Structures are given as structure tokens and as C-alpha cells.
Chains A and B, each alone.
Chain A
Amino acid sequence: MATIATPVLEEYAGGTIAREQVGLWRDGFRRLRRNRLALIAVVYLSILLAIAIVAIFWTPYNPATILPNTLTYLPPTAQHLLGTDELGRDLLSRMMQGAQISLIVGVGTSAIVLTVGVVVGLIAGYFRGWVDGVISVFINIFYGIPGILVAIVLYLVLGRGLGNIMIAISATAWMDMARLVRGQAFSIREREYIEAARASGARSGKILFGHILPNSLGPIIVQATFVIPIAILTEAFLSYLGLGIPSPLASWGGIASEGYAALPLEPYMMLWPALALSLTLLAFNFLGDGLRDAFDPRQRR
């Protein structure tokens, strides 16, 4: 990494041997700030989030309205910065709404995965025995089935909708989280401070959520960050197949799908969602990598 020695030097410049005492969080974020790729990712994602929020209140045109007197498949123009689609709808407006959908699906799925995975993982790892046996066997069975297949089947059963797509993606995505948390709980429960907490009369719930969970937050946050791009990609893929977000809601996957049909005629309609998806996925992955490095205790300086 590019930045190694400077902060240490700064600390010693004060002439004290005792270094500044920092907690896990501040230390982690300080190291994240030094990671240039992660920083760029954070900036990009902040802009994307801003766009998605703006899109709640304002888009250049109504993304669902077929604009009168407007040509279809327009290339970028002054009126339509990203052009128009096959029905003459404004692509910029639709892309903005797509950003909204992608972020909602990504973060929403991550939240479901976080809740279910952490609770199940903690229980399995802490109580062990038959509870852990049942959960582990269940997870291992589902590991043999492609997650996308489960998501498609479940989504068709549940019916279309933004909430259902998140549930369908979470249906398999929580398992990685549960495995991770279970492993963490397995090792942390053997630590002496857990025994000490038990000896001081702490309840199981307190030990689980008050001691084991805070000690595994680093890896959990990293994993939760990696769930976001997976969810966004899965949603885009489903929408691309025509199974995703119901029309007329715009989704990047859906725009790409419609754009694919017009690719020889009008490449822009394919280009924008592809670009947006790639950048967003890349950004989340860089952020996740950055967080992983930041929370890695071995790199603590």
C-alpha cells in the first residue's frame, strides 16, 4: 500500500512515546481513509446515493411517461442527456430511477441478510450441539443448489415486487453470512472473557449480542458490504431476463435488456446501464476490500 509510515511519524513528532489511543472504529476508518481505491469508491457511491435521493423528488422527466412528440432511440441531446428509449422515455430519468432501485435492492437485501445471517449464525455457533447440526446441514444442502435458481423459483412463487425480489435474493445469500458468524461465534465463545462474563452471571442473550457480536463486527460489516453488489447484480440479471422489477419501473437490468434489442441501431441504451452497473459493482467491491483491510487486526498499527 502506498501509505505506510506517515501517521506514525506524525504521532512521534509530538515527542510522546505513548501513541494516541484509538478504538477499533476510529482506527479502522483511519486506515480506510488511507486506501485510495476505497476512497474513490466511497466518493462514487456517495454521488450515486445523492442521485438516487434526488430521483425521489425530481427527475428531468417522468421516467414512466411516454413523452409526446419525442423520437424513440434518440442519442444524447440537449433535451435528453442520455437519449431516449424504445418508447420515447427519457433515459436519464430512467437511469436515475434505476440507481434508486439498485441501491434499495442492494442495501435492503444486505439488511435482510445481516439480520437473518447474524442471528442464525450466532445461535448455531454459540449453542452448538443439535441446533448447530440442523442449521449446518440445511446450509450445506442449499450450497449444492445455485443461488440464482433458488432466487428465480422463489421470486416466481412469491410474485413480482421490490420486496419480494429482496426476499428471493436473501433466500440463499444469508447462508454465507450465517457461516461466517457461526465461525466467529465458535472461536470467540472459547475466549476467556466470555467465560468471565458467564462467571459474572451474564445471560446468554447478553453474551451473544453484547460480547460475541461486537467482537465479530469487522468481518460482518465486510461481508454485508459484499452482499450489496451481489444483490444488485442478481436483480439486474433477473430484470434482464424480464423476471425482475415489473414495468414501468426502471431497472438497470431492464434498460440493458431493452437496449440489447436495439444494440445495432442504438448502442447508448445498452451502454449506460452496463457502465453504471460495472462502476457500482466495482465500487462496492473496492469498498469491501478496503473495509476488510481496515478491520484486519493483523494490520493494526
Chain B
Amino acid sequence: MTDSILEVRNLSTHFFTDDGEVKAVRGVSFGVAPGETLGIVGESGCGKSVTAMSILGLVQRPGKVVAGEIMFKGSDLLKLSNEELRNIRGRDIAMIFQDPLSSMNPVLRVGYQIDEAMYAHDKIPKDQVKQRGIDLLKQVRVSDAERRINDFPHQFSGGMRQRAMIAMGLSNKPDLLIADEPTTALDVTVQAQILELLRDLNEQTGAAIILITHNLGVVAGLCKRVLVMYAGEIVEEGTVEQIFERPQHPYTWSLLRSVPRIDANRGHRLLSIEGLPPDLIDLPQGCKFNPRCPFRVERCFHESPPIEQVAPAQHAACWVTMERAYADMGAGTITDTSPGAASGVHPAGGKRAAEAEVPAAVAEAVND
């Protein structure tokens, strides 16, 4: 994509700890088009947040971006000086954090904190900052904004604090808003309001949004395109319909199967993905998902699959894409695997695959 405002290429971020090198993000590439809403999903510790922090240059020691390019408006963010990067943070790229209580300084007034983001850059004329602070608070639908702007964060409810954080993020009219688990700390009704707000703001302001979450429902509600990350890599990428209706990577498939569905039978068992995400210091050979994959074949243990196009606008990194798995199921046969062959289903996984069903309705269930 050439028209992207953000183009991440081959990004790798490692943490050099006493126990070894934690390879938190490994060779991640993706682009964000202007005004786009992109979701990044995955389990805890799969590198979503580190990717976001890498973009903003906020990775703290012992972490370090070891390779890659982050092209934003024609310049590589990784090559900028601290001051140049500071100028982009909060001005062109803003970020919203998970816990709105701990993301606001408890001793400073809400309005002061919103204004501060504007004073830090010269985008908004100084004499308009105060008024814009109030307008922003209104825009994120905090009632009685003129008065509440002088409150302290602890006087705000969780939802209001997250609104205030969004107001802060939007204050300099950024081109890109990175929302790192913006609804995780909120209860469900407030979650829906915040998502709606983000969707409206995306339409009104034209700011692109990267939404980082482990909650597939949240992604379905806001994003047009989705990246699925596992163990520091992107394992699948596609439109939200493709990801929910025709997932091509066993990990995506497993994630979807682990979401409870309101339209499922009562007897329907939720699938939990067995095992844990791999130790990022000592990664498994071959495909990183192989220890937990129900469809693994011999090749998965030796070679790491590249990310390849599996459908228009859909990419997946898997030797045995789900397409093949479905085909096998549909044919009613489970091909026996000869070692090294990429065409079959692993005997151990085949049985589980047989009782699988495509979770197509998940998307619909959470979409509206």
C-alpha cells in the first residue's frame, strides 16, 4: 500500500532481560490507510502493546527496537531524534491507554491535563486551548463539561475518565489514534458507549484508529481490518468479515471458538486453547503455534510458515490453512500425514478438527 499514513516494515522489538532476550515482536509488517480502523488482536503477551509502544518510540529499557522501519508521513520514526519524535507523539499520533484511572495524574485537574497535551505542541493556538478543552469534553459527551473540566480525575467515573483520555488524545487533531485496550477496564455498557464514540470520532475527524484488544467483540464493533498476532508475529490479516467468517489460521479459529455465543446451543462447549503462549525467550522450532495447534503437520515442527495471501486481501501464516482443513472436513476424510507433507491434518488434531464448526455467526452476534 502506498497511500498508508503508517507503514510498519519488519519491526522487531526485543527485551534484553537477565533471563535472556525476550523476542516480544518479531518481523511485524503492516500498513494503516488514512481514516482506517485497524484492529490488532491476540492473547496477553503476544506483542500487541509492544508494537504500539515501538511506533511511538516509548519502549523502555531493557527493551529495544532491534530491526525494522516505521514509516510515518514519509519519515522513519525509528531514525528520528528524541525531540522530533516528541513532536509527533500526541500531535500526529496519539495514544489511549487501558486503565483510565491510572492513566490520569491524580493530583492534576482533568482540564489541566487535556490542555497540557495542546500546550506541548504548537498545533492549537494558545488562546484557543481553554475553549477547545471544554469543546473536546463536550465532543466526547461528558455532560456539564464547563464545570467538570475543573474536576480531579477521582471525581470522574471510569467511563468519563476514558472519555477524557480520548479527548486528550484528540486534542491536537492527530492523524492516527492508537487505542490500547481502551475498554478493558470498563463495564460492558460503558464499553459499548466508548466504542460508539470512537466510531463516531473516526467518521467525524477522519483520524485513523489502531485498536489493540484481546476482545474479538470489540474488534467486530469498530474495525474494518484485523491483524491477529501470536507470539510476536502477525499470523493472520484480513477484513473483519474474513477473519470472523473464514479464518485461515488455526489460532484465529481457536480464538473465535473460545468466545461465547448467544446463538449457540446450551450444550455447546467453549473451546479453550490448550497450553500457554510460548516462552518468548525460548521459542519453539518451526511454527510458533505448533505446540497448541490441533491441525499441525510434521512440517510445522521444522519450518516457520511465511505469511501468504490466502484470499483477496487476506493473508495467513500457516502450512495448513483452515481452507484446507475445512475442505478435509467437508470431504469427510482425514488425510493421513506422511512426514513432511503439507497437505494433511495431523492425526492428533484431526479428531478435534472433526467436531469443529465454523464460527461464522460470531461476527454477526457482536456486530450490532
Contact = CB atoms under 8 A, between A and B. Distances in A.
Interface of A: 21, 23-24, 128, 191-193, 195-203, 206, 210-211, 214-215, 217
B99 A199 contact: no
Contact of B103 (A192, A210, A214, A217): A192
- How many of chain B's residues touch chain A, expressed as a range? 20 to 34
Given A198-B58, A199-B58, A202-B116, A193 B103 contact: yes
Contact of A215 (B91, B107, B121): B107
Contact of B155 (A21, A196, A200, A210): A21
Interface string B259-303: 000000000000000000000000000000000000000000000
A193 B86 contact: no
B112 to A, nearest CB: 9
A206 B116 contact: yes
A interface, by DSSP: helix, strand, loop or mixed? helix
Interface of B: 56, 58, 61, 86-91, 94-95, 97-99, 102-108, 116-117, 120-121, 151-152, 155, 165, 168-169, 172
Contact of B91 (A192, A193, A197, A201): A201
Contact of A210 (B95, B99, B116, B168): B116
B87 A196 contact: no
Contacts of B172: 201
Contact of A214 (B90, B107, B165): B107
Contacts of A200: 89-90, 94-95, 116-117, 120, 168-169
B interface, by DSSP: helix, strand, loop or mixed? loop
A199 B120 contact: no
A193 B161 CA distance: 12
B107 A24 contact: yes
Given A21-B151, A193-B102, A200-B90, 12 more contacts: A23-B107, A128-B61, A196-B104, A196-B165, A198-B89, A199-B89, A200-B117, A201-B86, A201-B91, A206-B116, A206-B120, A211-B108
Nearest 4 pairs between A and B by C-beta?
A201-B90, A200-B90, A200-B117, A199-B95
A23 B152 contact: yes
Contacts of B91: 201
Contacts of B168: 196, 200
A223 B351 CA distance: 68
A128 B62 CA distance: 12
B120 A196 contact: no
Nearest to A18: B155
